Amino acid sequence: MIINAAVAFMLGFTPAQAQQPSAPRRPPRQTTIVVSPAAPVRAITDAIRLAHDGDTVVVHAGVYREPTIVVAKRVTLLGDGHPVLDGGGPNGVHGILIIRADDVTVRGFTLRNVAPSFVEDPAAIRVENAHGCAIESNRIDNAFFGIYLARVNDCHVADNVIRAAGTRETESGNGIHLWTSRRITIERNDVRGQRDGIYFEFVHDSDIRANTSADNLRYGLHFMYSDDCRYIDNTFRHNGSGVAVMYTKTVAMRGNRFEQNGGAAAYGLLLKEISDAHLENNRFTDNTVALFADGANRIQARGNTFTGNGWAVRLDASTVDGRFEKNTFRRNTFDVATNSRSPSTEFDGNYWDEYRGYDLDRDGVGDVPFHPVRLFSIIVEDKPMSLVLARSTFATLLDATERAVPGLTPERVVDAHPAMRPIP
């Protein structure tokens, strides 16, 4: 800053001093505060009270039982030796850690014992109205909600292990729960035993990568009203009803595994009232229903493998303008089922192990079309109890009749270029 000579005289500066630029302000010094059962600071709440923005709080091994810890400063919380933050069991209804500041990091802790509540959503770690958080490499045991993000942007949730032993949905919360958030990355987490493993509502432009969500009471992944998100290389195994995608548009699901989701109302993946879903290179194995599309418009499914499922693909009449290309269908009871007589979904270039056609020119493509809807599956759609006859001579005769006299099944569900070999 250059000071005018007259002003300098009035302020008592010499002319030489007036010409000197003001010195830059030094950034505040960052401090590390140590918390330990044997240190002067023994409570995390006290350390946060002493801290300033930019400080680091290092918590040494031990068991810490404190009232809900509120972080309203830009600090880094680091656990050394996986210190335990205990929510207090049956009385721990208010959660353990609440973050209300930007750029907060929580890494290396074990958090346990957050009791269920029917009037609020207590969590082991809850982040509210913040951006830039990092929740990494923590262990969460026996918590109603594990990690809860509300009105949060640009956060990273990675390498956490979340375990619960819920037996009823009403008394269980979600492992990783997001509400009204943007640009969140959820990766390499392992979630088991919750109500929903991962839950999204009003979340946009976010990524879920390389997570394992298994043995949860309801869904491995459940998201609604969450547009423009990507789900890549995750494993959803042995959940109550697999994965549900509802009321959403422009979602990409690539390289995921949907496995062993079984039961009377179970499926690997439910697409309900969505548009422009892209499914690529996913594996659906041993599910009651691998993929159920209800009101799903413009599904693009390519390179997926359906193996050993009850129904590989079920298309409701409300599902239109989809395309299944270069997928592999093996050992499914029903490859495709629909309750529509004139569906608009197209099938082309898929491999079907039930195909009995030929390839005279040896170009790898069957010379006659394949109709993947079994006649018996139409009967099952109308009379579900007839499923007990699925392996009977009666069902075999129905399928033989359909091959001999095509036209009894929806003629528009046809693969004109079936592949002769499984597609890698």
- Domain extents in the chain: 1-27, 31-174+207-220
357-367 pLDDT per residue, tens: 999 989 999 99
Crossing angle between the packed helical segments 393-404 and 375-382, to the nearest 10 degrees: 120
Among 5-9, 205-209, 259-263, 349-353, the least confident range: 5-9
Coil, strand, or helix at residue 93? coil
Give me the residues paired with residue 145 across strands: 123
Coil, strand, or helix at residue 146? strand
Alpha carbon 139 to chain centroid, angstroms: 18
Long-range CB contact pairs, 349-354, < 8 A, 24+: 349/325, 349/415, 349/417, 349/418, 349/419, 350/324, 350/325, 350/326, 350/415, 350/418, 350/419, 350/423, 351/327, 351/418, 351/419, 351/420, 351/421, 351/422, 351/423, 352/415, 352/418, 353/329, 354/329
184-212 pLDDT per residue, tens: 999 999 999 999 999 999 999 999 999 99
Among 2-11, 72-81, 187-196, 373-382, the least confident range: 2-11
DSSP state letters, 175-224: SEEEEEEES-EEES-EEESSSEEEEEEEEES-EEES-EEES-SSEEEEEE
Burial class (CB in 10 A: 0-12, 13-18, 19+), 300: middle
pLDDT confidence of residue 122: 93
Answer whether residue 181 shows pLDDT above 70.
yes
For residue 242, the tally of other CB atoms under 10 A from its CB is 33
- Mean pLDDT score, 278-289: 97
Residue type, 124: A
Answer whether residue 9 shows pLDDT above 60.
no
118-153 pLDDT per residue, tens: 888 899 999 999 999 999 999 999 999 999 999 999
pLDDT confidence of residue 119: 80
pLDDT confidence of residue 266: 86
Question: Dihedral sign, CA of 333, 335, 337, 341?
Answer: negative
- Mean pLDDT score, 60-73: 96
- Mean pLDDT score, 49-77: 96
Confidence of residue 105 (pLDDT cuts 50, 70, 90): very high
- Strand 328-330 relative to strand 351-352: parallel, antiparallel, unpaired? parallel
* pTM for this entry: 0.86
231-255 pLDDT per residue, tens: 999 999 999 988 999 999 999 999 9
pLDDT confidence of residue 8: 43
Measure the CA–CA gap between 267 and 248, rounded to whole angstroms. 18
- Tokens standing for 382? 């109308």
Q: Where are the beta strands (DSSP E) in 104-173?
A: 105-107, 110-114, 123-131, 134-136, 139-143, 145-153, 156-158, 161-163
